[in-house]
Amino acid sequence: MRQFRPIELAAYLQTGHTPVLLDVREHWEDALCRIPGAVLIPMGELPARIQELNPDAETVVICHHGVRSYHAARYLESLGFGDVVNLSGGVAAWADEVDPAMPRY
């Protein structure tokens, strides 16, 4: 599985790439801060909502620090998703590396 640091993902998005940004945090976490364009499907809801995702689409999985997203990305790979990327460091690192104005929790 590939991994991006937030600064790498930001640069990747700026070059015109349009992966699905899958946020697997909880609703309350999303209400505090979010990466623009991310689709929220909390990790616990992922099995029931998997049909909302395209297994052929490049999918970047996001969470708070990169641990839940890593496990969710592995789960997607086990289901046959072919192009899955984990956001290493999660939204916490995004706030540090890309968007210092983003609220932290």
- Strand duo 59-62 + 39-40: pairing: unpaired
| Identified catalytic residue from 38, 63, 73, 76 | 63
Residue 22 contacts residue 61 (beta carbons within 8 Å): yes
Residue 26 is encoded by which pair of tokens? 């909880």
* Annotated catalytic residue 33: no
**Residues tagged active-site:** 63
